[in-house]
Amino acid sequence: MSGLGKGIFSSSLAKLLKDKGLKVEPIKMEGYLNIDSGTLNPYRHGEVFVLDDGMETDMDLGTYERMLDQNLGAANFTTSGQIYRRVLDKERHGGYLGRDVQMIPHVTGDVKFNLRKLAMNTQADVVFVEVGGTVGDFENGFYIEALRELAFEEGDAGVCFVALTYVIEPQALGEQKSKAAQLGLKKLMEAGIQPHLIACRGHNEIEESAMEKIAMFSNVPKRRCFSMHDRKSIYTIPESMREAGLDREVLTRLGLHDRVNQRNEDTAREEWQGFVNKLTRKRKFKARIGITGKYAKIRDAYASIDKALEHCGVHLNADLDVQWLDTTEMQPSDVPRKLEDLNGIIVPGGFGKRGTEGKIACIQYCRENALPYLGICLGFQMAVVEYARNVCGLKDAGSTEFDPNTTAPVIGLLPEQKEIEGLGGNMRLGGKDVQVKSDTLAYFLYNNQNMIRERFRHRFEVDPQYIEKIEEQGMVFSGQHPQQPIMQVLELPTKIHPYFIGAQFHPELTGRPLKPQPMFMGLVAAAIQHAHPDVEPGEISKRWLPPVEYSIKG
């Protein structure tokens, strides 16, 4: 069933097998006709997660990358639109030798071919296939059929099916009811698929009686039914699965016990458990972080930011109270009242003019009041606009994305981009190298590296003709394209601001539980110091707080 956490279950189980030394490859198969997720509204579908190769996917791919600590690519994501396009392109080029092209065998055949190609190209021991949507939907019916055929062709020990179902618990009754789950599983079996594992989703832990009924009516032994109830964090799920023996059940089903590396599993388990122990302990510090964006009403729109902050809170021993502030209707006069109790601000990415003036007012407040600030993509661009207006004296400074007639277009399309037509044609997408200046905050955060790699998703840049004027007034562009005059990181020197940095890329996309993202770690450390001014910086972090005194000027 859609929206219950198939990606969380699948990535957690994949992690357990990867811990054992197996090579795993996930793939998410979406039912919609879009070629990718790039044009989907965040309100409807959550954030767009960009892979290193530039593929725009849904947020589940972010869950896989974080859980597996593994970079994925276009081969790990497909949509109905991609599949239909491949089939129709092949038909137009005579690839079917005059046959009438049908859902079976041609569309289902393309699905099976691409799953096998992923397995062969990556030399994976196990491919984890996640089908989006709900069993019984028209849009994913051909995926279900393709997997039924795949299981038939690969043989009984070649495939392990998992069904994720929902156990309802009406408040008026005060007890769990499994009938809806039974009917959903019946629908799956009517499609010719017998599940081997069942994940039972619910608010509270699934009771024995409900689990027994689900096991009985799905022909799945109860030891293979797993309670996937709400937890403090999704990162506690892998160990719960391990304790329930799901990893051993899969190995038995697929005949993979002989490929297990026990030493690798012991090491990986110890590292992960160390993180989970920190996650579940009582924290020493507290800090309030504000996320000021225009999609703040739906947290899934900023899922990777939320996770990146969670990682940092764990590593820095801090409880983070994340405040979601909608800038759409925020007036400049509202900003001091809304931000005065916060210890750090993130202005995230986005497209379109709506909410940008509210973001600019928030950035000005952070700059003038020594409030730790991290700007991401549009947050980077709006920091340039704010600085140009209020420090450099360019009162009409703006972005040509919002005002093509501005007399001071500090943000705009570069000349070579203007020649490219099409909505996605001039987007800068995917992993790119960033050259970092020595002796800057960015250089400190990235452990004194002059070359880093981060992921981009934007169209507009800092106009090169304004760079010198802006830097003359104190802002530093500490990261840029290795060959072109394209600015990618900005900051204020730590002698005048404790933490003010912006990135044209999306740092949240590369944050991992055991490898927290440097810019977020810097922000959270600075926010903790802001919240606990009497605590010595060394008690908070010797690694993430630059050893520089600052003073407020002007």
| The three-state (H, E, C) secondary structure of 115-150, written as one string | HHHHHHHHCCCEEEEEECCCCCCCCCHHHHHHHHHH
Active site residue 312: no
Residue 451: pLDDT above 90? yes
Query: According to the model, what pLDDT value does residue 407 have?
Result: 92
β-bridge pairing 344-347 and 318-326: unpaired
Q: Which residue in 83, 77, 135 sits closest to 113, CA to CA?
A: 83
Span 11-25, average pLDDT: 98
pLDDT bucket at 365, cuts 50 / 70 / 90: very high
Query: According to the model, what pLDDT value does residue 350 have?
Result: 79
Q: What is the pLDDT of residues 172-227, one digit of tens each?
A: 888 999 999 999 999 999 999 999 999 999 999 999 999 999 999 999 999 999 99
Alpha carbon distances (Å) from 433 to 88, 155, 378, 489 = 36, 45, 19, 12
Span 389-399, average pLDDT: 94
Residue 553: pLDDT above 60? no
Active site residue 506: yes
Q: Match 């129709």 to its residue by tokens.
A: 88
Phi-psi region of 236 (alpha: psi -120 to 50; beta: other; left: phi over 0): alpha
Output the average pLDDT for the chain: 93
d(CA 144, CA 150): 10
Residue 417: pLDDT above 60? no
Catalytic residue among 196, 458, 506, 532: 506
pLDDT bucket at 301, cuts 50 / 70 / 90: confident
Q: What is the dihedral of CA 511, 412, 344, 70, to 10 degrees?
A: 0
In this structure, which amino acid lies at residue 328? T
Contact between 345 and 372 under an 8 Å Cβ cutoff? The reply is: yes
DSSP string, 277-319: HHHHSPPSEEEEEEEEESSTT-GGGGHHHHHHHHHHHHHTTEE
Query: According to the model, what pLDDT value does residue 548 have?
Result: 65
* CA dihedral for 282, 66, 188, 154, sign (positive or negative): negative
Active site residue 200: no
Q: Which helix (H) or strand (E) holds 29?
A: strand 24-30
Specify burial of residue 243 (Cβ count, 10 A radius: 0-12, 13-18, 19+): exposed
In this structure, which amino acid lies at residue 139? E
d(CA 446, CA 454): 11
Q: What is the pLDDT of residues 111-137, one digit of tens each?
A: 999 999 999 999 999 999 999 999 999
Query: According to the model, what pLDDT value does residue 43 have?
Result: 72
Alpha carbon distances (Å) from 500 to 76, 365, 373, 468, 497 = 36, 12, 5, 19, 6
d(CA 237, CA 21): 19
Cα(first)–Cα(last) distance of the chain, in Å? 57
Query: According to the model, what pLDDT value does residue 329 have?
Result: 79
d(CA 454, CA 432): 6
Q: Match 């202005």 to its residue by tokens.
A: 347
Span 466-495, average pLDDT: 95
Residue 423: pLDDT above 50? no
Residue 396: pLDDT above 50? yes
Tokens of 43: 């309100």
Catalytic residue among 377, 454, 458, 461: 377
Catalytic residue among 160, 200, 508, 530: 508
Q: Which residues contact 214 (CB under 8 A, 6 or more apart)?
A: 165, 167, 178, 181, 182, 185, 198, 200, 220, 225
Residue 242: pLDDT above 70? yes
β-bridge pairing 285-293 and 344-347: parallel
Specify burial of residue 407 (Cβ count, 10 A radius: 0-12, 13-18, 19+): exposed
Give the largest CA-CA distance in the chain: 78
Q: What is the pLDDT of residues 500-532, one digit of tens each?
A: 999 999 999 999 999 999 999 999 999 999 999
Q: Which helix (H) or strand (E) holds 436?
A: strand 428-436
For the chain, the helix, strand and coil percentages under 3-state DSSP, each to the nearest 5: 45, 20, 40
Query: According to the model, what pLDDT value does residue 550 have?
Result: 57
Phi-psi region of 431 (alpha: psi -120 to 50; beta: other; left: phi over 0): beta
Span 22-40, average pLDDT: 94
Residue 349: pLDDT above 90? no
pLDDT bucket at 422, cuts 50 / 70 / 90: very low
Q: What is the pLDDT of residues 253-299, one digit of tens each?
A: 999 999 999 999 999 999 999 999 999 999 999 999 999 987 777 77
More confident residue, 365 or 350: 365
Q: Which residue in 31, 18, 20 sits closest to 64, CA to CA?
A: 18
Span 226-251, average pLDDT: 95
CA Rg, the chain, in Å? Answer: 25
Q: Which residues contact 504 (CB under 8 A, 6 or more apart)?
A: 377, 380, 381, 456, 458, 461, 486, 487, 488, 489
Q: Which residue in 214, 382, 366 sits closest to 290, CA to CA?
A: 366
Tokens of 163: 């069904």
pLDDT bucket at 539, cuts 50 / 70 / 90: very high
Contact between 62 and 304 under an 8 Å Cβ cutoff? The reply is: yes
d(CA 387, CA 364): 8
Q: What is the pLDDT of residues 96-114, one digit of tens each?
A: 998 999 999 999 999 999 9
Q: Which domains does the chain have, with CATH numbers?
A: 6-159+231-277 (3.40.50.300), 282-540 (3.40.50.880)
Residue 249: pLDDT above 90? yes
Query: According to the model, what pLDDT value does residue 42 have?
Result: 78
Tokens of 412: 């705009």
Q: Match 């309100």 to its residue by tokens.
A: 43
